[in-house]
Structure 1
């Protein structure tokens, strides 16, 4: 019995000593404790800052030109007005690029150039546009697009996803269908596997081409650090015009560089006769390329520049540049590793 009591007393003493130790301050030195508390506060603040979405105000955009021909100023005269590079809008888009890449993801690109992966099924709500083609409720054409099905629905798609747009792969739902979360478009959708190109979870989009259809210019940027981007070129460009049935506007949105051609041959309107070629062409959606000055002779020499660059939309959907700038983009923007963002 005495042994039992002694054990109880010993246990209580040990527990009390343990409790006393837990109540002791982390440091007996008040100055050292203040320093530790300060470091802990800073650490928590940094963690919270990392979780907070980036905004345009967080983006540092500095000029460090890698291509310095035909360079435009941030604002410049055009006829009786002034044109600009919309740097505030560009910073907003770069904040978006920063944000969607903060969490690990496996990326996919929607693809259906010339309906090579099969014509998309008819959406539930559609109309015919000025080009006599079927479009969804948002104006995206069926031709060259992928069908986006609402989650849980497989009978008919709700909308179309334009060729070249970016998404995150969320799951494989069936043998034929996958679930994606849009980056270039909003929401979560199901897409038949034939319409997606998986580009994996190791890709990083650190090269971005900005095309401005309002100011008719083009700007390239490269990521140099957290929220830090460097402007690599600032040039005139000419985008697509609205001229049915052959010429279409360059669509706005976020696209992935998908394909490159040293010479992109084109047909004469309404025929299958090759009229000429455009040099150093980087395709980003449908038949839209960033390319050099068109040469209306399949065997003609490359033309460096044109008076029409930076004036008014006049291409079929593409983005025309000085040919040496198109080559810079061609070499600099890697396939499935660079974005083209078209703003207005």
Structure 2
């Protein structure tokens, strides 16, 4: 944008100079031929000014360097697990990081889709829906109605077409009546959303902290941007994600989400009961009821538990991402609310 403004200023100055010369009296020492030559030079100068192209980063442009800020339980890039090996998918992460940097190239207004526990009202039924294994309404892409945001086609504001997950970030493109027109960062199409389901982010929002959760290899990595295309790896640890066990435990959903909320103790209930089951320490919520947190503490115990043998093995959570408690505290302190992203891959 600065280059564009500079271009306009230069062109305006050249045009003004040309007009001033044309208005000079006959007694001016410059001849008509000289003035025409000057105007030609001015035109040539205008033609030579070219708007600079914005270069987009490629995965190969992203440089990763290990500078750990948390160094407990650190895993190798590739490490053994039972009769196979697991790894950190750095190439996948490079692609994601290039995308995250590129999506911030222009000045945009960010919003986040929010409907935690249906606080902004239950989303209307979509045009085509199914009942999933949990006996809940979901769209045909598998996104549940509960805690989600209705997405309407630009041509139909009566019935939503699909649901958007809580915690999804989007570009605010404009307003149309009581609806906002948005482009979710990971979608290709624009959608209309009732304004009550959107929270505007600060104009100064930047995403320089990214947490990658690998639900296939059950690990977690935190990365921090230090320059264009330059990211430091801050931790590499085992983690345990959500499992598909109806009616209570659900998989951690794939996608990119915003860290929206933090709780030093996230209290949870016993399955199928209103009775307190315990708490999870240093919890950072990113979508629906999914948190990155430490080892759960079940009642009647009250003291925190630092580590569990099950971390990094198989999915065991209800949707959350379990960590060593000291690592969850590191993330709790390190990742700023509404400026850090959680990317779930596999």
For 1:72-95, what per-residue CA distance to the aligned partner results, in whole angstroms no more than 9, with x for missing partners? 011000001010000000000001
Distance in 2 (CA, whole Å) between partners of 1:237 and 1:44 is 50
Corresponding residue SS for 1:200: coil
Which of 22, 26, 35 is the equivalent residue of 1:18?
A: 35
**Counterpart position of 1:289:** 291
Which of 249, 261, 264 is the equivalent residue of 1:262?
A: 264
**Counterpart position of 2:150:** 147
Corresponding residue SS for 1:204: coil
Scaled by the length of structure 2, what TM-score is found?
A: 0.87
Matched, 1:167 2:133: no
Distance in 1 (CA, whole Å) between partners of 2:37 and 2:108 is 48
Which of 190, 193, 199 is the equivalent residue of 1:191?
A: 193
Please tell me whether the aligned partners of residues 184 and 255 of structure 1 are also in contact (alpha carbons under 8 angstroms): no
Distance in 2 (CA, whole Å) between partners of 1:170 and 1:229 is 29
Write out aligned runs for 1:243-322 (5 A): 243-297=245-299, 300-322=302-324
Distance in 1 (CA, whole Å) between partners of 2:39 and 2:179 is 56
Corresponding residue SS for 1:301: coil
Distance in 2 (CA, whole Å) between partners of 1:100 and 1:118 is 30
For 1:173-198, what per-residue CA distance to the aligned partner results, in whole angstroms no more than 9, with x for missing partners? 11x21111111333111100111111
Corresponding residue SS for 2:330: helix
Scaled by the length of structure 1, what TM-score is found?
A: 0.88
Distance in 1 (CA, whole Å) between partners of 2:304 and 2:342 is 24
Please tell me whether the aligned partners of residues 61 and 229 of structure 1 are also in contact (alpha carbons under 8 angstroms): yes
For 1:185-237, what per-residue CA distance to the aligned partner results, in whole angstroms no more than 9, with x for missing partners? 33111100111111132100000000000110000000000111100000000
Corresponding residue SS for 1:94: helix
Distance in 2 (CA, whole Å) between partners of 1:67 and 1:250 is 24
**CA displacement at 1:71 relative to structure 2:** 0.4
**CA displacement at 1:152 relative to structure 2:** 2.7
Which of 94, 98, 101 is the equivalent residue of 1:95?
A: 98
**Counterpart position of 1:119:** 122
Distance in 1 (CA, whole Å) between partners of 2:156 and 2:77 is 48
**Counterpart position of 2:209:** 207
**Counterpart position of 2:14:** none
Matched, 1:110 2:127: no
Q: Which is greater in Rg?
A: 1
Backbone CA RMSD of aligned residues: 2.2
Q: Which runs of 5 or more residues in structure 1 are unaligned?
A: 1-7, 25-40
Please tell me whether the aligned partners of residues 259 and 282 of structure 1 are also in contact (alpha carbons under 8 angstroms): yes
**CA displacement at 1:239 relative to structure 2:** 0.2
Which of 81, 86, 102 is the equivalent residue of 1:83?
A: 86
**Counterpart position of 2:45:** none
Write out aligned runs for 1:27-46 (5 A): none
Which of 230, 236, 239 is the equivalent residue of 2:238?
A: 236
Distance in 1 (CA, whole Å) between partners of 2:247 and 2:253 is 16
Runs of 4+ in 1 over 2 A off after TM superposition: 8-13, 18-24
**CA displacement at 1:18 relative to structure 2:** 2.6
**CA displacement at 1:12 relative to structure 2:** 12
Distance in 1 (CA, whole Å) between partners of 2:127 and 2:111 is 25
Distance 1:9 1:307, change over 3 A: closer
Corresponding residue SS for 2:200: strand
Q: Which runs of 5 or more residues in structure 2 are unaligned?
A: 1-24, 42-47
